[in-house]
Amino acid sequence: MIRESVERVRAVQNNIDALIKRSGYKVSHVYSQLGMDRNTFYHKRKNGTFTLDQMTQILDIIHIEDIEDEILLELSLEDEKESNGEVISWSDARWL
């Protein structure tokens, strides 16, 4: 049970861009609602250093709770496929 919770947090952290995009909100709306400047937000996003409170705030801002389980499962499966070499990342695919 704790392991599943940790995996869900990791899925949110690793896929914060996809969650924001899926929500329809602009990234600028999210970081302004968090009270962060653009550079801080992008640094935390790039390095995966959002705190649990910040991730909770992001999820509250983008109102994704109603489809959260579906999205997190989908994103976790995609992460697993990429880790196993079953799919390639977008950054790798664009050079093909």
CA angle 54, 69, 75 (to 5 degrees): 80
- Tell which wins on pLDDT, 38 or 89: 38
Over residues 63-92, the pLDDT tens digits come to 876 555 666 666 666 666 666 666 555 555
Output the DSSP codes for 17-44: HHHHHHHT--HHHHHHHHT--HHHHHHH
For the chain, the domain total comes to 1
Domain assignment present for 89: no
Domain assignment present for 96: no
CB 31 within 8 A of CB 38: yes
Residues 26 and 7: their CA atoms lie apart, in Å, by 26
Q: What is the pLDDT of residue 91?
A: 57
Domain assignment present for 90: no
Domain assignment present for 92: no
Domain assignment present for 10: yes
Domain assignment present for 91: no
Confidence tier at 6 by pLDDT (50, 70, 90): confident
Domain assignment present for 94: no
Q: Which residue type is seen at 69?
A: D
Domain assignment present for 68: yes
Give how far Cα 6 sits from Cα of 10, 51, 55, 91, Å.
6, 13, 13, 27
